[in-house]
Structure formats: C-alpha cells, structure tokens
C-alpha cells in the first residue's frame, strides 16, 4: 500500500469508527458487532503505526469515544476514566507480559504479580463518596467529561448509599443487566409490542442515560466495581487488596478476579474465563490483565487514552452449530421482504437464539443456505446473531432450495427487485404491513398536504382501528377524531377541514401521494399535464410512457405495474367515491419562455419559497436542478447563498437575483 492509498484508507476508517462509536456510545444503538468495530480499530491502529505522518489527536485510537447527552449536567472526572488497549491473541498478551517484565527489571523489581478479571459488557461509571456517603455518579463520557447520572444510579440496588468507613473515595464500576433479567425484560417488551433491545449492554446504557430516573428504576440494573480512582486516608500497594477492601465496604465487586504470578497462570486464567463464559450470570466481552502493584503502575504510567499497566484480551466471537428448520418472510414498513431463518434453538453468547435474519436474496445465494441445512451461527456478545457458514458435509439430500417470493406474502401484490438493489419490495399500496409508511407519505406536505395528520395521530388512528386503508382518511367522522384527545373539538374540526381541503388538490399531488417507485413531484406534474385525468393515466401503456421526456423505461414500468394492480384500482375508486379530485386543474399554458433552460436555486428568497419558485419555472417550460454544472442556465441566488453560488462563479454561470427573476417572469 503506497502513501496515498494509506491516507485514503485511514480517512475512511476514521469516519467509519467515529460513526459507529457515536451509534454505540451516544445513541446506544450499534449497527455492527463489537468484533467488526474492533477489527476496524486494529486496521486503523496498524496503518497509523506504519504511516506516522498521518497520525491525528482526533483519531479514536488516541481518544475515548462518547459525548455528553443533551439534558445531562457535565461532570469533569478528577481522575480520567480511560479505556483499555484491546488485544486479540495470546501472542499479544505475551508481548505485554515481556514488556512489563523488561520495565520491572530496569527498576529492580524481580517478581510482578497480575490480576486477571472478567471484562464486563456494560457501561462504565464513576461513583464518588464523601465521608462514606454516596454524593455523585457519572458516566465515562469521553473519559475526561461525563454525564451526571446520580439520581439514576441511586435506583441501582447494589450501590451502597453509605459505606462502612467514613472515607472520601471515588470508585469505578461497570453498570450492566444480567442475562436472565435481560431475557425477561425483552420478553415483556415483546408481549407489549415494544421494540426489543438489541443486547444487554445497550439496554443497560440506555437505561442509565434516561433523563427520567423513574424509567431507570424500572430497569434491572446492576453494577460491579473494579477499580479505585481516588482515595484519601488509606494507602494500598496491591490492586487485589484494594478490591477486597471495597468488598468489605459493601461494594458489589467484580466476582471473577484471579491472582497470577507468571505468563502460564495468566494463560490459564484467560482460558478458564473463556470456558466459563456461558455459566456466568452476566455478559462479558473479554478478560482484563492488570499489573497488581499500584506503585509500579504509577511508574508505568498511561498514554492519552489507555493505561500501560493493563490490557483487555478479546475473545473471538462465540460460534455454535444449529439447524435451519424453516425460512419465513417478513414484510417491513417500507415494503422490503426479508427472509428469516427459523432455527433449532441454541444458546450463543448468553442468549437463546431461535431465529435470525438472512438479510436478502444475495445473502442466501452467497452462503448457499437451504431449509434443513446445518449452519454455524455467531453472536459476538452484541447486536444480532448471524449465519457464518453452511456445513455442506452434513447435508443428506432432503434440504430444500429457497428464494425470495415475487408475490407479497401479506397482501398478494407483485414484489419486485429493481436493478442495482438487493431488496425485494412489495408494490401493493394497500398492504397492511406497510400501511403506516404509505399513510405518512400520502398525507405529507409534498403529497396531499393534510395538515395535522402527523405520525403520532396516524399511529393512534391505526391502533383504534379507525382507518384500515388510505381511503379511510376521507370517511373519518368529527366524533371519531374528537375522541382521540381531551377537549379535542377544535383539533377535530381543524383536521376535518384539512382533509376536505385536500380533496380539491391537483392531480399531480394525488399521483405523488401514491408513492409509485421513482415517481416524485416533478414526474407527477409531467404525468398530470400529459394525461389530464387519472383514468387516462391508468390506461397508458409502458411504451407510450417511456417516450415522455424525464420518464424513461424504468419509471414507465413502475407506473404500469402500479396501475395494473387490483388494490390500486380499488383505492382509486374509493377516493373517487369520497370526492377526491382526480383531474388536472392546471390551466393550459402556452408560455414556454424558459423552454430548454435549467435553473438552480440557492439561498433564501424573500417573496417565494423554493417550491413556489420551482413551480413558476416549470410552468414556463423550464427545469430546476439541485446542482450547478456547465449546463446550468441560471443560478437564482437569495440571502446566505453557499457553495452553489461559488460553483456558479467558478464556471461562469449567469447568476440572477430575485428582482431579476421577477422581471423575467412578468
């Protein structure tokens, strides 16, 4: 890899790790496994080591991820809460051991002792006590500044509010949810039709970082203390002794701590923890190896991010064999049909796995997965389980091929996979699985523009069975809407008025509202102008549609497929019965002064919205574009114009003001 390639890859990895760290630490919603993230960090660290000229203090290899959530008070950690250097092989553990041994030899220390502990999979927190009383608790945050979660931590039953000794002490621990409690909590959420937590770590993090401590109190949080950050009036030489003292004070201390004298014992400890993982009541994602001598730790010191006296050995993702009993298909809110493998239940990384997503058609083909196959699955302590490989040597000839259906399993409408996409989508506009999303789009500002009918109200209408399809919007009664809110009379009248106004919308809005694939507002206007009413459009064939400028064969096929469906015609008939306009209301315009001209709008205009200005341009035969190029005819520039204005100046494109635009359209 040359320098340019290295620089490009380093920049890519920094962006990726920043994004995934934000999803993990700040939003508690990881999108990839810990293992995948760790491998990115390993690659980034190795590249930065090989090409030091590209080092940056802003790289996550040099700092701790995480930020303070809005709504929490900031807490500055007097002693930073650092992260640990991760290693992924026993060879790397040996390198650490040798390095420590060499440092010890330099200062005359003959025997170095170690403590090997479980690396608990949770959220790190610092607890501060004054004269033995708990006074403050904070999350790690970025290691230097965390969030004040004192009231939330007071709800954790295993945190002592008062210690045996009246001392000033700050300790560090890991907040977590035990395996059994996590499964019970998710089971309850499933019964209540609530979104399930992806894993115990994120459930714990999300629970601790609630702005309302009453919510935190309902979650089964626990904590294990694993370090003294600061202590007064007490001196310890040994970390192991320190942990024993904390236990005497009433702290819930990490129960797995193995005292080691040499590398052989360290390896044995790592191996034992690895073998006992499933038996532990709490989730772990590694083993931590620490120098026991606290004075020697001071000499070894730290980097900006990690201590030099400890490392974390990460176990490889746990894998298990199981059988694919069936493959079923789920239809998501956007219409994507997702294959789901129904598995012989198996326990992996502390969770019983009985099903997992197979993502899409390409994934099934790539892995060559069949119903009846024996497969290897893994769950790296987080996110979702996945099929790693098929054990083809265990096939007996009874296995069945599988492919994504081309008919929606929910509504029976055609399901299509378009070029360049991995997903197969249901095209039915009345499909109950995607009804919510279809409704949200139908009433949106660029479509039927029904003011007051937002996502929350749509959810309530669906929950109360007041609407079962899009056309039901137009049969809602004043009384039904008013019953949804306390003193809902004014709200009901406003919504009824807004629904009635939408009946008079132009045809292009209705076409937009249908959500036909590839048909946005611009194409809808072209179709409304060309066909004059919905019936003419229904009867248009694909060849005829594809000849229209800005439509083309792909869009034409989407349109004809949509109008060939029985449920589409059923919906249109219902809308007609409700009095919804299905005709083009735009007057025929022979003024095409902007024909062949392309406008780009930038900045804020005084007299027009962007949409209004675009409508005028299109009415006069012109086009609008979102980007400036040599083919752009004019850039209409308002206040606070940005990069588009600079781009136009560099290309020599004519720039016009709002005043000049008004003269052009008069």
CATH, domain 598-665, list 3.40.50.2300, 3.90.1140.10, 3.30.590.10, 3.40.50.10190: 3.40.50.10190
Rounded to whole angstroms, the Cα distance separating 130 from 170 reads 9
CATH architecture entry for 3-62: Orthogonal Bundle (1.10)
Which of 75, 103, 81, 86 is closest to 42 using CA atoms?
86
Q: Could you tell me which residues come within 8 angstroms of residue 318 by beta carbon, excluding any fewer than 6 positions away?
A: 277, 348, 349, 378, 379, 380, 381
CATH superfamily, with its number, for domain 85-313: DNA ligase/mRNA capping enzyme (3.30.470.30)
Asked whether the predicted pLDDT for residue 665 surpasses 80, the reply is: yes
Asked whether the predicted pLDDT for residue 423 surpasses 90, the reply is: no
Q: Among 64-73, 77-86, 153-162, 560-569, which is the least confidently predicted range?
A: 64-73
Per-residue pLDDT tens for 198-209?
Answer: 778 888 888 898
Asked whether the predicted pLDDT for residue 571 surpasses 60, the reply is: yes
Per-residue pLDDT tens for 506-543?
Answer: 999 999 999 998 898 889 999 999 999 999 999 999 99
Asked whether the predicted pLDDT for residue 48 surpasses 90, the reply is: no
Rounded to whole angstroms, the Cα distance separating 171 from 243 reads 10
pLDDT of residue 587: 66
Active-site choice (7, 49, 57, 119) = 119
Strands 85-87 and 310-313, sheet pairing = parallel
Asked whether the predicted pLDDT for residue 496 surpasses 60, the reply is: yes
**How many C-beta atoms lie closer than 10 Å to residue 571's C-beta?**
20
**∠ at Cα 210 (208, 213), nearest 5°?**
85
Domain residue ranges in the chain:
3-62, 85-313, 319-394, 427-581, 598-665
CA atoms within 13 A on the CB side of 8: 5
CATH architecture entry for 427-581: Orthogonal Bundle (1.10)
Q: Are 168 and 129 in contact (CB under 8 A)?
A: yes
CATH fold of 319-394 reads: OB fold (Dihydrolipoamide Acetyltransferase, E2P) (2.40.50)
Per-residue pLDDT tens for 325-348?
Answer: 999 998 887 788 989 999 999 988
pLDDT of residue 113: 96
pTM: 0.53
CA dihedral 487, 493, 499, 502 (to 10 degrees): -130
Can 85-313 and 598-665 be said to share one CATH topology? Answer: no
Beta bridge partners of 126: 138, 172
Q: 470 to each of 436, 437, 474, how far by Cα in Å?
A: 9, 11, 8
389 counts as catalytic: no
């Amino acid at each position: 890899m040359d320098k340019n390639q290295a620089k490009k890859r380093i920049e890519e990895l920094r962006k990726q790790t920043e994004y995934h760290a934000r999803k993990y630490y700040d939003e508690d919603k990881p999108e990839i496994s810990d293992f995948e993230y760790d491998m990115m960090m390993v690659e980034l660290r190795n590249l930065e080591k090989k090409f030091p000229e590209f080092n940056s203090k802003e790289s996550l290899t040099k700092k701790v991820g995480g930020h303070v959530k809005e709504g929490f008070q900031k807490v500055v950690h007097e002693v930073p809460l650092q992260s640990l250097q991760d290693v992924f092989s026993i060879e790397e553990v040996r390198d650490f051991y040798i390095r420590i041994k060499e440092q010890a030899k330099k200062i005359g220390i003959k025997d170095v002792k170690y403590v090997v502990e479980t690396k608990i999979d949770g959220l790190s927190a610092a607890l501060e006590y004054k004269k033995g009383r708990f006074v403050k608790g904070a999350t790690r945050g970025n290691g230097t500044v965390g969030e004040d979660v004192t009231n939330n931590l007071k709800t954790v039953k295993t945190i002592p509010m008062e210690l045996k000794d009246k001392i000033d002490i700050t300790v560090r621990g890991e907040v977590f949810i035990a395996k059994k409690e996590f499964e019970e909590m998710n089971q309850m959420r499933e019964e209540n039709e609530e979104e399930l937590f992806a894993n115990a770590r994120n459930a714990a993090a999300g629970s601790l970082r609630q702005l309302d401590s009453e919510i935190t109190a309902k979650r089964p949080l626990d904590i294990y203390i694993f370090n003294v950050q600061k202590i007064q009036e007490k001196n310890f030489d040994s970390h192991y002794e320190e942990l024993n003292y904390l236990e005497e004070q009433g702290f819930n201390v990490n129960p797995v701590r193995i005292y080691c004298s040499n590398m052989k014992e360290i390896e044995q400890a790592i191996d034992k923890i690895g073998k006992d993982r499933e038996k532990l009541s709490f989730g772990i994602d590694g083993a931590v190896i620490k120098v026991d001598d606290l004075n020697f730790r001071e000499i070894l010191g730290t980097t900006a991010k990690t201590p030099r006296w400890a490392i974390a050995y990460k176990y490889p993702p746990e894998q298990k064999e199981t059988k694919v009993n069936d493959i079923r298909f789920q239809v998501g809110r956007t219409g994507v049909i997702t294959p789901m493998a129904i598995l012989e239940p198996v326990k992996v990384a502390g969770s019983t796995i009985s099903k997992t997503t197979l993502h899409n058609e390409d994934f099934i083909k790539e892995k060559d997965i069949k119903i009846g196959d024996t497969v290897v699955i893994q769950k790296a302590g987080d996110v979702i389980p996945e099929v790693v490989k098929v054990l083809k040597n265990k096939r007996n000839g009874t296995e069945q091929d599988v492919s994504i259906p081309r008919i929606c399993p929910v509504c029976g409408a055609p399901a299509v996979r378009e070029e360049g996409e991995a997903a197969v989508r249901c095209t039915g506009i009345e499909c109950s699985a995607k009804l919510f999303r279809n409704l949200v789009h139908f009433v949106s500002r660029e479509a039927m523009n029904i003011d007051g009918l937002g996502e929350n109200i749509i959810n309530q209408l669906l929950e109360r069975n007041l609407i079962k399809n899009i056309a039901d919007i137009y049969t809602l009664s004043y009384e039904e809407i008013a019953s949804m809110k306390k003193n809902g009379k004014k709200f009901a009248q406003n919504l009824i008025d807004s629904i009635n106004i939408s009946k008079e919308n132009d045809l292009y809005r209705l076409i937009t509202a249908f959500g036909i694939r590839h048909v946005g507002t611009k194409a809808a206007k072209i179709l409304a102008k060309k066909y004059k009413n919905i019936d003419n459009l229904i009867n248009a064939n694909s060849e005829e549609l594809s000849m229209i400028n800005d439509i083309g064969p792909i869009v034409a096929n989407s349109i004809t497929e949509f109008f060939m469906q029985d449920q589409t015609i059923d919906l249109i008939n219902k809308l007609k019965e409700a009095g919804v306009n299905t005709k083009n209301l735009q007057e025929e315009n022979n003024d095409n002064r902007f024909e062949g001209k392309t406008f780009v709008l930038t900045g804020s205009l005084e007299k027009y919205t962007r949409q209004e200005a675009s409508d005028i341009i299109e009415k006069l035969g012109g086009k609008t574009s979102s980007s400036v190029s040599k083919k752009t005819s004019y850039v209409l520039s308002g206040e606070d114009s940005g990069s588009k204005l600079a781009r136009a100046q560099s290309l020599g494109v004519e720039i016009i003001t709002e005043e000049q635009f008004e003269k052009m359209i008069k």
